[in-house]
Structure 1
Amino acid sequence: MAKIRAALEKVIPPLQQWHGPKTSELLRTPGKFGLGQVPEKCQPDATTNVVCGFCSTGCGLNIHLKDGKAVGLTPSTDYPVNLGMACPKGWEALTPLEADDRATTPMIRKQRGGELEPVSWESAMSSFCSNFKNIQQEHGDESVAFISTGQIVTEEMAFLGALAKFGMGIRHGDGNTRQCMATSVVAYKQSFGFDAPPYTYQDFEESDVIVLIGSNLCIAHPIMWQRIERNKHNPEIIVVDPRKTETAVAATQHFPILPKSDLYFLYGLARVLIENGWVDEQWIAQHTNEYEAFCSHVQTFTAEQVEQQSGITAEQMLKLAETIHRGERVSFWWTMGVNQSHEGVRTAQAIINLALMTGNIGRPGTGANSITGQCNAMGSRLFSNTTNLLGGHDFANSEHRAKVAKILEIDEDRIPRELGMAYDQIVEGIHAGKIKGLWVLATNGSHSWIHQERYKEAMEKLDYLVVQDMYSTTETAQQADLILPAAGWAEKDGVFINSERRIGLVKKVAEAPAEALSDFNIFKLISHYWGCAEMFKKWSTPEATFKLLAELSQDQPCDFSGVTGYRMVDDLGGVQWPCKPSDVAGLASDNQRRLFTYNLFYHTDSKAKFIFAEPTEVAEPTSKEYPFVLLTGRGTSAQWHTETRTKKSAVLRKLYPASIYIEIHPDDAERLAITPNSLIKVKSRRATIEVTASVTPSVFPGQLFMPMHYAKANQLTQASFDPYSRQPSYKFCAVEIVV
């Protein structure tokens, strides 16, 4: 508290045009306005459990404190997610907090092309509010947007979405979860009636057949892979992936389909299952719709066509279908290889269809299971106010708007009646001159967005760019007009929601540097200076906000109104939604829960839907000039997204190559006279970059693979998007090797 107050003491009384309590009053009564509040302190020498802030697995970490300061960590042995295991990133989770490039004070660029200069929080708030208000006054409310993240805690996501849309009148806002999970969100909503990943991690240990599609689990989610290794049923592990990934090598069966032939392959598999009678007709009739139309659809995907399009023979397809048929508990899992596609939604639904037609859902070891990417992508999906109204509600539903307005005690007219622009539409809106001001939080689009150079150009076209981040050195921050220094994971309180829908607790075990504030407290300051603080009087602390969100979730499929507060979450080792008051009594004996155990889905008739469509061509096929397919994905378990945090660790840096590389098949390398570790140039229609050649049979002839973590990678990728989810297709573009 003392440190936060010391930072805020530098804020002089606000300018007269903004109404509300003075900054001095905010400092004197932090409990009233939510500034400077911290939870009960841990003992000076103690151990406390927190949820890791890297990926969506949501592991429990024991943070060890000495004199009240976090000095080390170990994986929690009794947390139901990781059971004493941790990946390299988890072991190094505290290191990024100590980086010397942390953003420590607000910084302003006083003139275009000038240097960023440190300023007070007062000056930062004055600049933030006056610039955004001026843009809105001149160009309308729709001329300002925000791009959020899956990295901050749920309470902050909700506060941001409510502040921006209800308080500031910003209609357009999206999150970087659009890059990883939008496909699964839409697929689940359309098929099940709600965004509802049905599984629990225990299903990895209960399946006798595990089908992984577009998922390199060993590298991307190593703790989940270790859960598979704990499986005592000697499961068949089937990997469907163009590359011979680490997971494919460890599998019992690998089906190396041609890139982006997923729909041909999956519909062909469905046809084989139907023709052999290996489906659960009774279950289908009772619990699904549109099955007959689906059967008619897949009959056109003959063995010859499927082999031509996917490279998988009829014999291979029959073997796979037989394996699924013999399994009593079959689980289907997918991640970015499916999601990041020009037709990802229909591909995800083709996987869901396989689970439905074989009755593999709602039972232990089964399910159509999307694996999330970021640590709080699920929190973002439900509570960021981007893809839906708070709590999985619908902006267009008047009853939903009235419910949210009543609980939050705000005017219903403040709530928009429709969604704003998606991430890609915001970027294109900037290029078109429609978006003039942008607020970017805890994400680095100038590195991570598809067709990177076009994104960077968009940032330069803005009248005003604000970046709120824990680092001042990201590519996006270096383009900003204003940087707001934010606290990171373990420097604040809140909850993450992981892939299996488990709400896990994040605790403040370290102090943010210098004048950096939690995102929650930054939002409190903005609401005060903007003049809408009264609207958020109920959002006094992160835990008070959590209780608001629990109330908002009531009667929704994601209902966790039975979760009374942080202590309950902590004591139980996380809580999976739904968790109504009537569910609480059973949690002590069974804290592993899955959805659809009673075969009731979220459509009005309680049935799931078979959804399907004709395959479509990729936006950029190979050609004589660009003969190679470039695939991208995770490189090693020691790397994370744009490496903004993992590169801070000397230990993690030793576990992956320092410079960008590309995998090429030995036959292609020999034909082009490329030797291992030589420097080569790779060219797409957008850029040419120099990379190191890694000659390996893990890719097939005509295909190349490049890890996504390096800054150069997205100079090459092509801006293609799924029409339903607006998710970018990072996994396919046409390139040539310049020799």
Structure 2
Amino acid sequence: MSLAEDPSTTSRITLPKVKLPELLQRRDGSMTRELLLKPGQHGLGMTHDSMVADTTTTATCGYCSTGCGLRLHLRDGEAVGLTPETQYPVNLGMACPKGWEALRVLDSDERATTPLLRDANGKMQPIEWEAAFTTFVDKMRGVQEKHGQDSVAFLSTGQIPSEEMAFLGALARFGMGIRHGDGNTRQCMATAVTAYKESFGFDAPPFTYDDFEQSDCLIFIGANPCIGHPIMWERVLRNPNTPEIIVIDPRRTETAMAATQHLQVKPKHDLAILYAITKLLIDNGYVDRQFVEGHTNGFEELCEHVSQFDVDTVAHAAGVSVGSLEQVAHTIGTRKAVSLWWTMGVNQSYEGTRTAQAMINIALITGNIGRPGTGANSITGQCNAMGSRLWSGTTNLLGHHSFASEQDRQKVADVLGFDSECIPTTSSWRYDRIIEGVRNGEIKALWVIATNPAHSWIDQADVKELFGKLDFLVVQDMYDTTETAEHADLIFPTAGWGEKEGTFINSERRYGLLKKVRRAPGQALSDFQILRGIAHYWGVGEQFAEWTDPEAVFRIMQRASRGQPCDITGIDGYAHIDRCGGIQWPWTEADAAATGSSEPPQQRRLFEDGRFFYDDGKAKLIVDDITPMPEPPTQKYPVTLLTGRGTVSQWHTQTRTKQSPVLGMLYPQEAYVEINPVDADEWEIVHGDTVTIESRRGKIEANACVTATVRRGQAFIPMHYAETNQLTLSHFDPHSGQPSYKDCAVRITPKAPQSK
């Protein structure tokens, strides 16, 4: 019998006093504690022992940051189907194709079902969990002993529950002495985090989804929610105010097609455009002087800076009319509830932080913050990117504290019951620096959890080559067929969404529940149980004795959040979250006492009192110089390549979505490139032709899609295809460290006919 199948196991045991089988979750089909509901309810219904044969339960979707509620239909305790939850305050009965297929992708021949170890002949061989944990510990410690404590690093994710992120960060950094670790949220949300922290004093998205329906003017910059976040777009369509919809984007996206105003700017002119609009707002008296004086710092510096951005000059350079800029400024200045929204088109840019802050500046100087329908609002990417930001313990100390603060280190140590000496005094290297560490021989072993950098990291061929330089690569994933798993020396098979418990935090700061409603295949374990096993074998089990199950860790997280802007001490456990249909942070003990109710209002926004998270309570207006595009078009590479989301049915590197035949029918299986019709005529390319796209880093083939959605001299390839990041340029925002995926120089030519 496999160790992971031992029916005598339990999930509440002090680690050092037990053998490995007792550490692991039950594998006999029973569930330690299910949150099962009677039909139509949100609240905690019944335990496994008393449940009826057919019932339903609501859980948060595990794809994007929207955080929809899915009603899971159970038979004998296991999910057999799902429908959108009609009462959940996020999606109100709607779901995108990915959500509808969330169960289907779990049933795949590509699932990792047993630990795998590469043998002397380079072949992956199945091993038992005991051998897997022993190998992990021996190899990682061996690398540290040979090359130094900091020669081991980890790359984490925005895909696993907050409790697993907290456990991973604490175990790796405080228990194993791994100083360097970052998450793939560096690829999607680092810019928004940095912008909010610098402007507001904390990583604090101020909005709630109700703002989509309350605005009378919505501005989308580098965002295509119609495709990227379709349930959010449904909320826009419910707006009763006949809102102006303004889109600033180089492509004529699906969202732009529905806009009332579309500024189809040239790539990487968005920051200059926003500064010019700010100048127009100031010059035309659209500033809320009372709010600016009472709640912001830096207005005079802002005025001086944007005065340099002559509207005629900026408009000409960006490829738009002066009148279009004036119309946008007039709309912002005269509407009552203006909201500005951005996502990866801004975040994934070499000057993304300052672009995000230019939007924040506009919201602040016009008083469009803290009221219904307002805000400078970052739409998150991954399902739990917010959880990673607050709890992963990578570049921020647990609970979004600072490693550099002695007071913060002592607070976290006291909460965890650890010696403060085990907490590093400096932050980790960022993702790009860890990759450079592999190149330089500083990082010799890498632990990759629930992410696929061999597909997703910028300049893909380079990172694949670097993986070959490692002494030891561990991949912890649901599937053993990912591009990164192909390079692994050791694979840990994991449970996925629906096969474990925990919480996700969505874009509007809402904690939602992930529930175990299926058994993971074979010997696959939740990341939580894998971390318990590592803690035991590393010899730090006693240090993590309190970390018995996800809800126990949630209680630890609550203690760590006390006094922080993200305080969740007023939440009364998982049942409370379940009963309420999710709870937005903050919800403190004081909030609960003041309202006289444990049920928080479902739609809460930040900064209603005009106070921000700096000591003086004021937000900062931040500006900077424009940075030239690092790789502009040239005679040899005359086209600017754009990348982004191409279809509502696809997600990131296709690790999960490609497992669904339904989703596979909803988008082209082969990579395609959008080309302007005039360029296509000039290059003698016909719609449907196979073309070659070449950058300074690589060459790929794709099918030509001749369309006016892109302007002349530009092209677009969806980011989901494995080929795309063979072309992208390795350059980064200097403030956030986020890769700039959205611009590089390429040339496009018809594919040469094959000789017979």
1:344-355 paired onto structure 2 within 5 Å: 344-355=352-363
Residue 638 of structure 2 corresponds to which residue in structure 1?
A: 627
The answer to whether the 8 A contact 2:2-2:128 is kept is: no
The whole-number CA distance in structure 2 between the counterparts of 1:251 and 1:80 is: 26
The answer to whether the 8 A contact 2:454-2:464 is kept is: yes
Deviation at residue 617 of structure 1 after TM alignment: 0.9
Residue 163 of structure 2 corresponds to which residue in structure 1?
A: 155
Residues 416 and 671 (structure 1), Cα distance of their counterparts in 2 relative to 1, 3 Å cut: same
SS in 1 for 2:17: coil
Residue 57 of structure 2 corresponds to which residue in structure 1?
A: 48
- 1:490-537 CA deviation, whole Å, 9 max, x = no partner? 100000000000000010000000100000000000000000011111
Return the letter of the residue paired with 2:75: K
Residue 273 of structure 1 corresponds to which residue in structure 2?
A: 281
The whole-number CA distance in structure 2 between the counterparts of 1:127 and 1:667 is: 58
The answer to whether the 8 A contact 1:54-1:374 is kept is: yes
The answer to whether the 8 A contact 1:213-1:334 is kept is: yes
SS in 2 for 1:652: helix
Is 1:286 the equivalent of 2:294?
yes
- 1:110-156 CA deviation, whole Å, 9 max, x = no partner? 23x61100001111111100000011111111100000000000000
The answer to whether the 8 A contact 1:37-1:541 is kept is: no
The whole-number CA distance in structure 2 between the counterparts of 1:375 and 1:56 is: 4
Is 1:107 the equivalent of 2:116?
yes
- The equivalent position to 2:604 in structure 1, one of 558, 575, 593, is 593
The whole-number CA distance in structure 2 between the counterparts of 1:271 and 1:387 is: 35
- The equivalent position to 1:404 in structure 2, one of 401, 407, 412, is 412
SS in 1 for 2:220: strand
Return the letter of the residue paired with 2:261: Q
- The equivalent position to 2:734 in structure 1, one of 719, 723, 732, is 723
- The equivalent position to 2:668 in structure 1, one of 653, 657, 680, is 657
The answer to whether the 8 A contact 2:395-2:429 is kept is: no
Residue 140 of structure 2 corresponds to which residue in structure 1?
A: 132
Is 1:84 the equivalent of 2:102?
no
The whole-number CA distance in structure 1 between the counterparts of 2:18 and 2:76 is: 35
Residue 693 of structure 2 corresponds to which residue in structure 1?
A: 682
Return the letter of the residue paired with 1:334: W
The answer to whether the 8 A contact 2:8-2:22 is kept is: no
Deviation at residue 738 of structure 1 after TM alignment: 2.5
The whole-number CA distance in structure 2 between the counterparts of 1:400 and 1:60 is: 35
The answer to whether the 8 A contact 1:629-1:733 is kept is: yes
Deviation at residue 321 of structure 1 after TM alignment: 0.5
- 1:44-78 CA deviation, whole Å, 9 max, x = no partner? 31100000000000000000012222111000000
Residues 138 and 250 (structure 1), Cα distance of their counterparts in 2 relative to 1, 3 Å cut: same
SS in 2 for 1:20: helix
- 1:604-662 CA deviation, whole Å, 9 max, x = no partner? 11000000100101111110000000000001000000011111111111100010000
The answer to whether the 8 A contact 2:3-2:129 is kept is: no
The whole-number CA distance in structure 2 between the counterparts of 1:30 and 1:705 is: 46
Q: Quick check: 582-591 or 138-147, which moved more?
A: 582-591
Return the letter of the residue paired with 1:172: H
Residue 430 of structure 2 corresponds to which residue in structure 1?
A: 422
- The equivalent position to 2:478 in structure 1, one of 447, 451, 470, is 470
The answer to whether the 8 A contact 2:683-2:749 is kept is: no
1:323-334 paired onto structure 2 within 5 Å: 323-334=331-342
Return the letter of the residue paired with 1:109: R
Is 1:569 the equivalent of 2:577?
yes
Is 1:297 the equivalent of 2:305?
yes
SS in 2 for 1:484: strand
Deviation at residue 43 of structure 1 after TM alignment: 3.9
The whole-number CA distance in structure 2 between the counterparts of 1:227 and 1:313 is: 31
The answer to whether the 8 A contact 2:719-2:725 is kept is: yes
- The equivalent position to 1:509 in structure 2, one of 517, 531, 537, is 517
The answer to whether the 8 A contact 1:44-1:69 is kept is: no
The whole-number CA distance in structure 1 between the counterparts of 2:719 and 2:600 is: 42
The whole-number CA distance in structure 1 between the counterparts of 2:5 and 2:414 is: 36
Q: Percent identity?
A: 56
Residue 321 of structure 2 corresponds to which residue in structure 1?
A: 313
- The equivalent position to 2:492 in structure 1, one of 484, 487, 494, is 484
- The equivalent position to 2:680 in structure 1, one of 665, 669, 677, is 669
Return the letter of the residue paired with 1:430: V
The whole-number CA distance in structure 2 between the counterparts of 1:711 and 1:288 is: 45
Residue 583 of structure 1 corresponds to which residue in structure 2?
A: 591
The whole-number CA distance in structure 1 between the counterparts of 2:307 and 2:390 is: 37
Return the letter of the residue paired with 2:69: G
Residues 406 and 303 (structure 1), Cα distance of their counterparts in 2 relative to 1, 3 Å cut: same
Residue 37 of structure 2 corresponds to which residue in structure 1?
A: none
The whole-number CA distance in structure 2 between the counterparts of 1:139 and 1:733 is: 37
1:35-434 paired onto structure 2 within 5 Å: 37-39=32-34, 40-41=47-48, 43-111=52-120, 114-434=122-442
The answer to whether the 8 A contact 1:435-1:462 is kept is: yes
- 1:151-199 CA deviation, whole Å, 9 max, x = no partner? 0000000000000000000000000000000000000000000000000
Matched pairs, number: 725
The whole-number CA distance in structure 1 between the counterparts of 2:3 and 2:83 is: 28
SS in 2 for 1:123: helix
SS in 1 for 2:650: coil
The whole-number CA distance in structure 2 between the counterparts of 1:264 and 1:616 is: 10
Deviation at residue 586 of structure 1 after TM alignment: 5.2
The answer to whether the 8 A contact 2:70-2:85 is kept is: yes
Residues 338 and 30 (structure 1), Cα distance of their counterparts in 2 relative to 1, 3 Å cut: closer
Deviation at residue 447 of structure 1 after TM alignment: 0.5
Deviation at residue 241 of structure 1 after TM alignment: 0.3
Residues 589 and 154 (structure 1), Cα distance of their counterparts in 2 relative to 1, 3 Å cut: closer
Deviation at residue 22 of structure 1 after TM alignment: 4.1
Residues 570 and 3 (structure 1), Cα distance of their counterparts in 2 relative to 1, 3 Å cut: farther
Deviation at residue 590 of structure 1 after TM alignment: 2.4
The whole-number CA distance in structure 1 between the counterparts of 2:497 and 2:598 is: 27
The answer to whether the 8 A contact 1:3-1:514 is kept is: no
1:18-33 paired onto structure 2 within 5 Å: 20-23=16-19, 26=22
The whole-number CA distance in structure 1 between the counterparts of 2:374 and 2:598 is: 21
The whole-number CA distance in structure 2 between the counterparts of 1:609 and 1:313 is: 31
Return the letter of the residue paired with 2:58: N
SS in 2 for 1:461: coil
Residue 615 of structure 1 corresponds to which residue in structure 2?
A: 626
Return the letter of the residue paired with 1:125: F
The whole-number CA distance in structure 1 between the counterparts of 2:25 and 2:484 is: 32
Residue 649 of structure 2 corresponds to which residue in structure 1?
A: 638
The answer to whether the 8 A contact 1:303-1:313 is kept is: no
Residue 696 of structure 1 corresponds to which residue in structure 2?
A: 707
Return the letter of the residue paired with 2:86: T
Task: Give me the CA root mean square deviation.
Answer: 1.7
The answer to whether the 8 A contact 1:718-1:733 is kept is: yes
Deviation at residue 564 of structure 1 after TM alignment: 1.5
Deviation at residue 405 of structure 1 after TM alignment: 0.5
Q: Which runs of 5+ in 2 are unaligned?
A: 10-14, 35-46, 751-756
Structure 1 length-normalised TM: 0.96
Residues 381 and 110 (structure 1), Cα distance of their counterparts in 2 relative to 1, 3 Å cut: same
The whole-number CA distance in structure 1 between the counterparts of 2:494 and 2:7 is: 13
Residues 25 and 461 (structure 1), Cα distance of their counterparts in 2 relative to 1, 3 Å cut: closer
- 1:389-445 CA deviation, whole Å, 9 max, x = no partner? 011111111111111101110110000111111111111110100000000000000
Return the letter of the residue paired with 1:638: S
Deviation at residue 4 of structure 1 after TM alignment: 7.8
Structure 2 length-normalised TM: 0.94
